[in-house]
């Protein structure tokens, strides 16, 4: 297959490396410093899935630089606030056989991409293994909580077509499965991240510590409760019947395997980068405003993360 | 005068040193390590009021150890959560001529002390100069925003009696004045601290930075707004007609001289000590609950500070 990995960050590096090793033609797209490093040294993956290295067929800084842009699959791994820009670029090289997988964090990626790419070409991915950047084009896989889920949010793509891409990923060594209810899985992850990633970034602790202390537990439960109320209001079904059921799973099943995980938003803040807060608690607050649901805890968390973001930039 | 300084921390060191240098008989009371250091080396003050040193007449760990406990004045400088315990101790040595000044932070000190000491012996102080502990019995005065205010909250003490203690402090070099409305001044400081000290402890920045960034400004204004609503509900008058007037003064007059000040609650957390959050935003939340006023921002701030407190202890 001809595959473009749009964004060679922590996640894109893993996809590029594993798909290339399986023999596909893999093109990487990234900003200048990463592009140069990956062109020179290839991509490298370490961590729980072993040591891997691959040299990509091409590494470019824009889709117009691709020598032969007849693509079967584009996997988008840019930050959520860059999704729309990436989608606009991809739209320019979309052939009748190209499908696009959105493998990012947070709410709004599908909606942003659909402004430029037909919905019957967009596959939404729920990625729930953890990868950290340890260098340019170098990633460490730290944890896997469940398979990646691929699906068409409104089931506008033939099931067999999606299964084809699911098989490609599985064969390459990235556990993946199809679901007709991908949006439910994506929301599950948004809730998980809105509770742990944001509060962990504010308090500068790992996920386990947040679940250990009474006052941070109370705050996380409020975050989760508010999101369930918003989702109920908009009619979005969930994998859990109510927030109590989610909270039980959260402490018993979701947090323990990721207890040592450090919040990616804290890493973003410490590096003076923008966080994905707008696609997490921020998206919940916006939905709450639109549908008349009060979300004070998520609102204050957004303000605190944004204040930290800004203060970190002022220090630079 | 015979004066007992109950607590030789940052503030108590300043009072002990200046009053002793003026020639009063000054007894210090503190916990063991401080008591030993002060008995050995005296008290020392540095910073904007110059370099000072004094040897106290006595330094004890409990009121029962004082050789001659006929006191004119007791100045209480312990943390707000220790006020009631201190008051119970002081009650045991209260003679008919002893007055007690509460020179602490937050709401609830007068109420706690009044459980053991008659209200017509209790003078409430609003201290708004900044002192930091730089060693045992060693303080640095960093900033002064206004005179100390002394007063009897319900004006149960003869004006002239309070003025006598005001004069003692002024002559010793600590700018002080009397007010019939001391509670209004104390609330002004509680609001100031609830906005700056708590958020500064959460975000780990100085006061100036909080006033510089849009999102922390928004949070501080919410904190202030909620407190004004609670105070209006309980009928507590203020020095400002409404929160808008306070917020204007806050940015224009109160924050600028203290822009470089680092939150004392952050210092407490970093030292693994308990903060005074219960006497600041915590007191507001409790009043809000009691009188049916919603205070979500103060509530979340309390949870975050307490989570940080606990996490810091877990790290020790």
Is the pLDDT assigned to residue B145 strictly greater than 90? no
Q: What pLDDT is attached to residue A69?
A: 76
**Catalytic residue status for A248:** no
Residue B316 pLDDT exceeds 80:
no
Mean of pLDDT values over B172-194 = 97
How far apart are alpha carbons A192 and A298 in whole angstroms?
13
DSSP assignment of B68-94 equals ----SEEEE-S-GGGHHHHHHHHHTT-
Examine the pLDDT at A302 and tell me if it is beyond 70.
Answer: yes
Average pLDDT for chain A: 96
Q: How many CB pairs below 8 Å do chains A and B form together?
A: 69
Instruction: Give the pLDDT confidence score for residue A68 in this predicted structure.
Output: 82
Q: What's the rounded Cα separation, in Å, for the pair B214 and B212? A: 7
For residues A186 and A107, is the Cβ–Cβ distance under 8 A? yes
The pLDDT-based confidence of B261 (bands split at 50, 70, 90) is confident
Which CATH code for domain A2-180? 3.40.50.720
Distance of CA A115 to the CA centre of its chain: 19
> What are the beta bridge partners of residue A135?
A138
Sheet holding B43-47, edge to edge: B52-54, B43-47, B138-144, B129-135
Separation of alpha carbons B113 and B115, rounded Å: 5
Interface TM-score (ipTM) > 0.90:
no
**Range(s) within chain A of domains with CATH label 3.40.50.720:** 2-180
Q: pLDDT by residue (tens digit) across A91-143?
A: 999 999 999 999 998 999 999 999 999 999 999 999 989 898 999 999 999 88
Task: Look at phi and psi of residue B61 and say left if phi exceeds 0, alpha if psi is from -120 to 50, else beta.
Answer: alpha
Single out the residue of A107, A27, A12 nearest to residue A61, CA to CA. A27
Segment (H or E) for A310: helix A296-315
Higher pLDDT, A69 or A262: A262
Judge whether residue B315 has pLDDT over 80: no
Q: How confident is the model at residue A313 (pLDDT cuts 50, 70, 90)?
A: confident
Rounded mean pLDDT of A188-205? 97
Which pLDDT does position A297 carry in this prediction? 98
Q: Is the pLDDT of residue B31 over 80?
A: yes
Nearest to B311 among A213, A306, A307 (CB): A213
Residue B313's closest chain A neighbor by CA? Answer: A213
Cα nearest neighbour of B214 on chain A: A307
Residues pairing with A150 in the sheet: A125, A178
Between CA B194 and CA B252 the distance in angstroms is 18
CB contact under 8 A, B213 and A297: no
A195 has pLDDT over 80 = yes
Any idea what the Cα angle at residue A263 is, between residues B266 and B211, rounded to 5°?
Answer: 40
Mean pLDDT of A217-223: 98
Q: Is the pTM of this model over 0.95?
A: no
The pLDDT-based confidence of B175 (bands split at 50, 70, 90) is very high
**pLDDT at site A222:** 98
Task: Determine the pLDDT at residue B314.
Answer: 83
CA–CA gap between residue B80 and residue B307 (Å, rounded)? 19
Q: Which helix (H) or strand (E) holds A56?
A: none
Whether B219 has its CB under 8 Å from any CB of chain A: the answer is: yes
pLDDT mean over B262-269: 92
Alpha-carbon gap, residue A222 to A48, rounded angstroms: 33
Q: How far is A304 from chain B (nearest CA, A)?
A: 7
pLDDT of residue A316: 61
Burial class (CB in 10 A: 0-12, 13-18, 19+), A17: buried
Mean pLDDT of chain B: 96
Question: How far is Cα A307 from Cα A194, in angstroms, rounded to an integer?
Answer: 17
Quick check: A216 pLDDT over 90?
yes
Query: pLDDT, tens digit, for every residue of A255-301?
Result: 998 898 889 999 999 999 999 999 999 999 999 999 999 999 999 99
- Residues in A closer than 8 angstroms to B296, CB to CB, are 296-297, 300
What pLDDT, on a 0 to 100 scale, did the predictor assign at position B68? 82
- Residue ranges of chain B assigned to CATH 1.10.1040.10: 184-315
Of A217-226, B64-73, B264-273, the range with the highest mean pLDDT is: A217-226
The arithmetic mean of pLDDT across residues A77-85, rounded, is 96
Q: Which residue of B has its CA nearest to A298?
A: B300
| Cβ proximity of A295 and A226 under 8 Å | yes
The pLDDT, as a whole number, for residue A200 is: 98
| Predicted confidence (pLDDT) per residue in B98-136, tens digit | 999 999 989 999 999 999 999 999 999 999 898 989 999
Cα–Cα dist B12/B10, whole Å: 6
Verify whether the Cβ–Cβ distance A213 to B310 is below 8 Å.
yes
Domain B184-315 adopts which CATH fold?
1.10.1040
Q: pLDDT at position B88, please?
A: 98
Edge-to-edge strands, sheet with A43-47: A52-54, A43-47, A138-144, A129-135
Alpha carbon distance A152, A178 (integer Å) = 9
pLDDT of residue A276: 95
A209 at B interface, C-beta within 8 A: yes
How near does any CA of chain B get to the CA of A311, in Å?
7
- pLDDT for B53: 98
């Amino acid at each position: 297959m001809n595959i473009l990995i749009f964004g060679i960050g922590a996640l894109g590096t893993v996809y590029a490396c594993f798909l290339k090793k399986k023999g596909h033609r893999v093109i990487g797209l990234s900003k200048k410093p990463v592009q140069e490093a990956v062109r020179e040294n290839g991509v490298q993956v370490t961590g729980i899935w072993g040591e891997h290295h691959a040299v990509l067929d091409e590494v470019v800084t824009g889709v117009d630089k691709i020598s032969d842009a007849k693509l079967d699959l584009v996997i988008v791994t840019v930050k959520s606030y860059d999704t729309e820009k990436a989608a606009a670029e991809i739209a320019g090289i979309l052939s009748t056989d190209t499908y696009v997988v959105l493998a990012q964090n947070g709410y709004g990626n599908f909606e942003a991409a659909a402004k430029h790419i037909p919905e019957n070409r967009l596959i939404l991915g729920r990625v729930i293994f953890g990868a950290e950047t340890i260098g340019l084009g170098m990633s460490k896989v730290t944890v896997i909580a469940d398979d990646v889920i691929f699906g068409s949010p409104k089931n506008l793509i033939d099931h067999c077509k999606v299964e084809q891409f699911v098989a490609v990923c599985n064969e390459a060594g990235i556990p993946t499965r199809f679901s007709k209810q991908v949006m439910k899985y994506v929301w599950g992850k948004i809730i998980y991240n809105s509770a742990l990633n944001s509060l962990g970034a504010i308090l500068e602790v790992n996920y386990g510590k947040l679940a250990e202390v009474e006052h941070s537990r109370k705050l996380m439960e409020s975050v989760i409760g508010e999101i369930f109320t918003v989702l109920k209001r908009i009619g979005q079904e969930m994998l859990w019947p109510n927030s109590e059921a989610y909270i039980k799973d959260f402490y018993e099943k979701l947090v323990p395997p990721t207890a040592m995980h450090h919040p990616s938003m804290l890493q973003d803040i410490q590096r003076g980068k923008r966080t994905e807060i707008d696609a997490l608690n921020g998206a919940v607050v916006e939905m709450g405003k639109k549908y008349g649901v009060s979300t004070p805890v998520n609102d204050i968390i957004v303000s605190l993360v944004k204040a930290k973001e800004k203060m970190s930039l002022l220090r630079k």
